[in-house]
């Protein structure tokens, strides 16, 4: 049976990216993206819930993200979920879900039409998401 592991996020970058290299010399850039949703609670009060995601970009995409991703930027990230597993100092096995980016698109005015495909990701062409230049990043939740 076929399966699918695909994640699409649109949110604000919460911190400047951190780039490093693996022992094999592969570039990886990590940054955090916040997504928010508003809802009305049972008591009728309007609330907002924010989720934070760690995004990892590899190879050429890592180098480009390190150059252009910055705290506060509105981004569209497409990729897949990966489980990062390690052993804590207390000997307990720990894990964290992370997003491995295949594509990053900037949706704010600074670079509204720039798309950064991963080396092994084929660009979606006309289907790639865009947003009008009239969106003010100050109006976005974060």
Q: How does the average pLDDT of the chain come out, rounded?
A: 83
The total number of residues shown for the chain amounts to: 142
Which comes out higher in pLDDT, residue 108 or 141?
108
**Arithmetic mean of pLDDT, 20-34:** 96
CATH class for the domain made up of 14-119: mainly beta
**pTM score:** 0.72
Q: Is 36's pLDDT higher than 80?
A: yes
Say what the pLDDT of residue 80 is: 97
Return d(Cα 141, Cα 138) in angstroms, integer.
Answer: 8
Q: Is 104's pLDDT higher than 70?
A: yes
Q: Is 126's pLDDT higher than 60?
A: no
Say what the pLDDT of residue 44 is: 92
Query: Would you tell me how many other CB atoms lie within 10 Å of the CB of residue 130?
Result: 13
Say what the pLDDT of residue 108 is: 86
Q: Is 38's pLDDT higher than 80?
A: yes
pLDDT band at 1 (very low <50, low <70, confident <90, very high): confident
**Arithmetic mean of pLDDT, 78-95:** 93
**CA quadruple 72, 27, 113, 97: dihedral sign:** negative
Question: Can you tell me which residue has the tokens 């005015």?
Answer: 109
């Amino acid at each position: 049976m076929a399966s699918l592991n695909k994640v699409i996020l649109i949110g604000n970058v919460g911190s400047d990216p951190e780039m490093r290299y693996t022992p094999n010399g592969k570039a990886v850039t990590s940054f955090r993206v916040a997504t928010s949703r508003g809802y009305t609670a049972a008591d009728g009060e309007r609330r907002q819930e924010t989720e934070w995601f760690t995004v990892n970009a590899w190879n050429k995409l890592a180098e480009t993200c390190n150059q252009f991703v910055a705290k506060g930027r509105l981004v569209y990230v497409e990729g897949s979920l990966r489980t990062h597993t390690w052993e804590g100092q207390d000997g307990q096995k720990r894990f964290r879900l992370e997003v491995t980016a295949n594509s990053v698109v900037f949706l704010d005015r600074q670079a509204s039409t720039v798309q950064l495909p991963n080396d092994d990701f084929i660009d979606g062409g006309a289907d790639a998401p865009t947003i009008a230049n009239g969106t003010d990043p100050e109006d976005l939740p974060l």
